[in-house]
A and B are shown apart, each in its own frame.
Chain A
């Protein structure tokens, strides 16, 4: 199979075998763990910088502006790294009359949830970092740690604005997790697996969104709406709601503590898009159309991680487009949308998908 051109696992196995031959296995595993950990963190930071730069440029394009264009040449390429450096040097202000332990813990919980979910993304064939047979289940579980961090941040800051922001966020994220869970479940029914690599490999002869036709497309749209809400981005950014609550739950944070929230927000955007890519658009799987072997072969020459990142950034662009077009919803409207429309609809979609699967109506 041409697919194996870019399979990373033989290479990784060779490295592992080599390390085991020169040192005891526990040491080799520890060393590999360290390298992978550093790799994750570096990827995390680099992606955040790319996403922030992309957001600025995309937003500028929608708003008839140019965007960053001074620091680092005409494109303003060094603007975001400069901002990152700046935020690293900022003082972390500690508050009087706040719960210091929880206050300091909250940003780490948020970033921890984000990194755990991030590690599950299928970058390439054989390129997964956390691999388990209930991978998608783990993603759902890990991502919901984040809301705990948000609630703690709002509560421990001892400010009314942050409290309102945190309660809003809590109500919203817990509600929208239902829709996300149900639309993910729809795709699990379709692929018959909870393992992320198996789900991706099941799309070798056509992406799920094509194979699952109507129910898959509906689930995709529900997932995008709910995922956007999960990531706290406009038009669902009422937890931050700059115009109402100044900055919502992270009003009282400064320096890198604030930076963690900011970083997690952008990476959650990427993760939302990444999971959408995995479930609906084939993850790292190239575009395959059953029967057209010539095209499939050409597509296979493009490496998997290029496919994955390309598709993910396409969805990120879609989400940015939505953010910079719509005004913000109100809290009761957000909850009405979820409980009265999205949740019943996703139950129907799940049922529809099950019926399709049982009667073999999927491709």
Chain B
């Protein structure tokens, strides 16, 4: 349907159907097509899921644009290529989707593709004086020896645009002016939930602007993946968002299984779904603990950790790991569940239902907690979609975006559960979404735990897995939003490019929008309710 619309505008659009449908559009027409798709009446493509930078070698540099309609759930992938490697230029779409503001910076950082008319073309993960673009296939690994000098952050940024005669022109934009009182929140700070740095401009206690600086723990996982075989790539997904370890790995396994045509046994599907939900409860309990601690209440912190410990014990018995479990495998799971697993999970859920009221008594109904959260940090639904804030954050703003409901995978179309949606969009709604989701996850597990069928827990796979050529994607709902895997295969036993959608990157980007005008104390509370995890941003 969308494809017809595109071909009606530009008949020369190339459509490739290997794996996912990818529509290749000429770079100069990209902005026009994107605008048409966004402003469509009945099926607006208003959610830019991700921009995936690519180096196709001979074909040139470019990017994949993953679009989705929040109204119908229809999805489409656009591909734009520029052949000039020295002066790679693409038009920006940041005026259409705000999330492109940060995602195009990521592509610029790693591929050196300059986005025309993007107001802020700075590097985001790497040092500002980095030489070369590391995700290009011809990048020289020795071009950046370890530097011991400090990095100076410029207060100015560049914007590029084309003159009518086709020459490139630059302009300087101001990030922080002379009279801005800039405080560094991070990279070593107790409440940034990892090594995140936010340059925060203050007016007294009020926040004027936040500029996130990322990459302090970037490990180049996507680059490493290009030299690892498919079973080897699995080891790294648990290290992305370590509080969604099962779900991340589930997504990658699903993507590879879909591409290789591997049928997953029913028993493995049950186990995967239960593990995903246990992981979600684990993550939301930690969210509760961290949020209350960020707000200065240390006692409820221990409540959350007490119950989380029980989940970790259950994980440990079956998988051998507590934080990082390495449990999902291509075609199933690593090992069968422990004989006492079902009983322990049932006992745990019974226990959790009996203590969850304590959580609400000590924090939710506390007058200080209420005044600190209600009406603070409001994110409108339009902003949430435009910024790509998926997961609980988006659902708190009234955007029904649960992948489990709208694009079901594993057993989610067989179980009965509610999608928790609040409309207020403030910190309190974001908090309540997670608290309610704990109970929904319990409900899902209860439907499955007694019905795990007998049989294989893992399908037999070939020792060496080779995927057919094409672009493959899969998406799951992790503990903090939509996690996508985009895999381009050229028929080898290693991926040509394997990209993960970061659930946290749009959330960190949203900090600036949400926090403006709020107080420093609110910044911490809002950061807590947005619930980002840094290793998932710094992949």
A interface, CB within 8 angstroms of B: 59, 62-65, 160-161, 164, 168, 234-235, 237-238, 241-246, 324-333
Contacts and interface: CB of A to CB of B under 8 A. Distances in A.
Nearest to B303: A64
A81 B26 CA distance: 74
B369 A164 contact: no
Interface string B162-195: 0000000000000000000101000001110000
B296 A328 contact: yes
B302 A243 contact: no
A234 B521 contact: no
B522 A242 contact: no
B306 A327 contact: no
Contact of A327 (B295, B302, B303, B520): B295
A243 B181 contact: no
Contacts of B202: 164
B312 to A, nearest CB: 17
Contact of A244 (B298, B306, B524): B524
B230 to A, nearest CB: 42
A258 B263 CA distance: 63
Interface stretch (B47-55, B141-149, B247-255, B360-368): B360-368
Nearest to B527: A243
Contact of A63 (B190, B298, B519): B298
Given A237-B296, A328-B295, A329-B368, A246 B363 contact: no
Given A164-B205, A242-B190, A246-B189, A324 B298 contact: yes
B520 A244 contact: yes
B299 interface: yes
Given A327-B363, A331-B205, A235 B368 contact: yes
B521 A327 contact: no
13 contacts: A63-B301, A235-B296, A242-B296, A243-B295, A243-B524, A244-B521, A246-B190, A327-B372, A328-B295, A328-B368, A330-B371, A330-B522, A331-B519
Given A326-B368, A327-B372, A330-B372, 6 more contacts: A160-B181, A243-B296, A328-B368, A328-B521, A331-B519, A331-B521
Contacts of A234: 296
B366 A327 contact: yes
5 closest Cβ pairs, A-B complex: A328-B296, A327-B297, A327-B295, A63-B302, A243-B191
Contacts of A332: 205, 519
B292 interface: yes
B41 to A, nearest CB: 44
Nearest to A236: B296
Contacts of A244: 191, 520-521, 523-524
A228 to B, nearest CB: 13
A275 to B, nearest CB: 25
B294 interface: yes
Interface string B5-40: 000000000000000000000000000000000000
In this complex, the member of B202, B292, B298, B362 whose beta carbon has the largest number of chain A beta carbons within 10 angstroms is B298
B150 to A, nearest CB: 15
A330 B521 contact: yes
A55 to B, nearest CB: 12
Contact of A238 (B306, B363, B371, B521): B521
A180 to B, nearest CB: 21
Nearest to B523: A244
Interface in B505-527: 519-524
A138 to B, nearest CB: 33
In this complex, the member of B202, B293, B299, B362 whose beta carbon has the largest number of chain A beta carbons within 10 angstroms is B299
Interface residues of B, number: 32
A29 to B, nearest CB: 48
Contacts of A330: 371-372, 519, 521-522
Interface of B: 181, 183, 189-191, 202, 205, 292-299, 301-303, 306, 362-363, 366, 368-369, 371-372, 519-524
A353 B289 CA distance: 45
A163 to B, nearest CB: 10
B294 A243 contact: yes
Contacts of A64: 302-303, 306
Given A238-B521, A333-B371, A326 B366 contact: yes
Nearest to B373: A327
A327 B427 CA distance: 15
A65 B303 CA distance: 11
A164 B296 contact: no
A170 to B, nearest CB: 13
A327 B519 contact: no
Contacts of A327: 292, 295-297, 363, 366, 368-369, 372
A35 B366 CA distance: 49
Nearest to B190: A243
A246 B181 CA distance: 18
B419 to A, nearest CB: 29
Contacts of A241: 296, 521
A331 B523 CA distance: 13
Nearest to B292: A327
Nearest to A238: B521
B297 A328 contact: yes
Contacts of A331: 205, 519, 521
A235 B202 CA distance: 24
Contacts of B183: 160-161, 164
B126 to A, nearest CB: 26
Nearest to A168: B205
A339 to B, nearest CB: 16
A343 B183 CA distance: 34
A237 B298 CA distance: 13
Contacts of A235: 296, 368
Contacts of A246: 189-190
A328 B373 CA distance: 12
A59 B302 CA distance: 11
A328 B295 CA distance: 6
A246 B186 CA distance: 10
A164 B521 CA distance: 12
Nearest to B528: A243
A236 to B, nearest CB: 10
Nearest to A159: B183
A325 B361 CA distance: 11
Nearest to A329: B368
Contacts of B292: 327
A164 B520 contact: yes
A281 B368 CA distance: 29
Contacts of A237: 296
Nearest to A64: B302
Contacts of B298: 59, 63, 324
A324 B302 CA distance: 11
Nearest to A237: B296
Contacts of B521: 238, 241, 244, 328, 330-331
Contacts of A164: 183, 202, 205, 520
A326 B297 CA distance: 6
Contacts of B296: 234-235, 237, 241-243, 326-328
Given A64-B306, A160-B183, A329-B368, A324 B299 contact: yes
A231 to B, nearest CB: 15
B189 A65 contact: no
A241 B297 CA distance: 11
Nearest to B296: A328
